[in-house]
Amino acid sequence: MNQKTLTLIFAALFYSVCVFSQDSTKVKTQKDDQVKINESKIDSIIDGKIYDSKTIPSATDSLNVNSLSDLQIASDFDQKWLDELYSNSLFDTIYDSVTDLKYDTVDYPELPTDTLKARLKALNSKTPFNIAYNPALESVIKSYLKNRRNTLQRLMALSEYYFPMFEKELDNYDIPLEVKYLAIVESALKPRAKSRVGATGLWQFMFQTGKMYGLNVSSYVDERSDPIKSTEAASKYLAKLYEIFGDFYLVLLFYIFFFF
């Protein structure tokens, strides 16, 4: 997948607040379809005397979808994040790079534009990701076919070995199988690949992230370069990112561009 085509999608965070009704409940009714919050009394009774009477909220029922309410603090955090993003000069840079891609036309008559469009359309019907033709993508594809045939042959040969393993682990964590191509973007399927910032292995784990997901990294061993263990760790990491973002475009964007 061309990383420049990733779409910036943002979703607001919502927190479910639901409550049980009790006989001794004080109900606060709010306008504009706000949630009704139930409260109950709790007393400490010693020798028949009541001490320390106080009111506490009742238990939350997260399964009651009829009484959802925005959590104000989450909404505030979301707004601050969006304000920071939109006011950051990097946002304009990213937006421009996505909407105004620069490319050079590549002459490769073996793959006519109409044929490429038809093949991309066929691919799009078989994947949850959106695959659409654009001139910049055509330029990249033809450039690889024309100038990097040896690289493509190597990657295709290695994929026969690695992809079945990738697909098995990704499927275990309900991750789209197409995410296997992320390893090509990250490391060109080189288990010992190491970036200038220290990311290592097929999935380019940083030191701390690797240890966080159970990889042994020491002076004697670096399991980030272990294809099996690093693939399992990467699947866990991707699944966790999906829990956070709820969108695999954002997951891929975060995985590729953010390091920690």
Q: Which residues pair with 60 in a beta bridge?
A: 19
Residue 247 in tokens: 């969108």
Residue 255: name the closest of 159, 176, 186 by CA: 186
The per-residue pLDDT for 92 is 62
The pLDDT of residue 6 is 41
For 8-20, what is the HEC assignment?
A: CCCCCCCCCCCEC
Domains of the chain from N-terminus onward: 25-68 (no CATH), 154-260 (1.10.530.10)
DSSP-assigned states of every residue in the chain: --GGG-------------B---TTEEEE--STTPPPEEEEEEEEEETTEEEEEEEEEPPB-TT-GGG----HHHHHHHHHHHHHHHHSHHHHHHHHHHHS--------TTS-HHHHHHHHHHHHTTSSS-----HHHHHHHHHHHHH-HHHHHHHHHHHHHHHHHHHHHHHHTT--GGGGGHHHHHHTT-TT-B-TT--BTTTTB-HHHHHHTT--BSSS-BGGG-HHHHHHHHHHHHHHHHHHHS-HHHHHHHHHH---
Token pair in block for residue 50: 């009541």
Residue 217: phi and psi, rounded to 5, are -125, 115
Q: Look at residue 94 in the predicted model and tell me its pLDDT.
A: 59
pLDDT by position in tens, the chain (length 260): 444 444 433 333 333 323 333 333 333 444 344 444 444 444 555 555 555 555 545 544 444 444 445 677 777 777 776 666 666 555 566 556 656 667 788 888 899 999 999 999 999 999 999 898 988 889 989 998 999 888 999 999 999 999 999 999 999 999 999 999 999 999 999 999 999 989 999 999 999 999 999 999 999 999 999 999 999 999 999 999 999 988 898 899 899 887 55
Q: Is the pTM of this model over 0.95?
A: no
